[in-house]
């Protein structure tokens, strides 16, 4: 029986599949394909987080965010710096503020 996946997987997944006695067919993506697949995988993992709301899905999202930043030419230090700067200027999400409306 063959199951088709056609999706980006973590680096050790082929090794894990073969260690279980199964065989898999893979390819190395071009940079453009890789970025497209990272975006698709982010959507997939976000949907899984919404369904399960567990720390494993959050870890998957974090890993993909890191991969997306690097694939787009950013360093993790740059990503963190931008996050910190935005938190300084606009705040974080710690105070649980829900904006209802603004009247002008």
d(CA 61, CA 63): 5
Q: Determine, yes or no, domain membership for 97.
A: no
| Residue 65 in domain | yes
Residue 33 lies in a domain: yes
**pLDDT tens-digit series, residues 76-90:** 999 999 999 999 999
Domain contains 42: yes
| Predicted local confidence at residue 48, as pLDDT | 96
Q: Report the 10 Å Cβ neighbour count for 15.
A: 10
Name the one residue in this structure whose structure tokens are 């690097």. Answer: 70
Quick one: average pLDDT of 97-104? 94
The tens digit of pLDDT for each residue in 8-63 reads 999 999 999 999 999 999 999 999 999 999 999 999 999 999 999 999 999 999 99
- Model pTM? 0.87
Range of the domain at 60: 13-90
Q: Is residue 8 part of a domain?
A: no
Would residue 99 count as lying in a domain? no
Alpha-carbon gap, residue 70 to 75, rounded angstroms: 6
Domain count, the chain: 1
């Amino acid at each position: 029986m063959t199951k088709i996946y056609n999706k980006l997987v973590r680096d050790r997944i082929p090794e894990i599949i073969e260690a279980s006695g199964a065989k898999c067919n893979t390819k190395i993506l071009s940079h453009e394909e890789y970025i497209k697949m990272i975006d698709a995988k982010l959507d997939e993992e976000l949907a899984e987080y919404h369904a399960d709301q567990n720390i494993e899905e959050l870890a998957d999202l974090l890993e993909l965010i890191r991969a997306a930043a690097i694939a787009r030419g950013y360093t993790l230090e740059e990503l963190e710096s931008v996050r910190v700067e935005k938190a300084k200027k606009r705040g974080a999400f710690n105070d649980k503020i829900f904006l209802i409306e603004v009247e002008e």
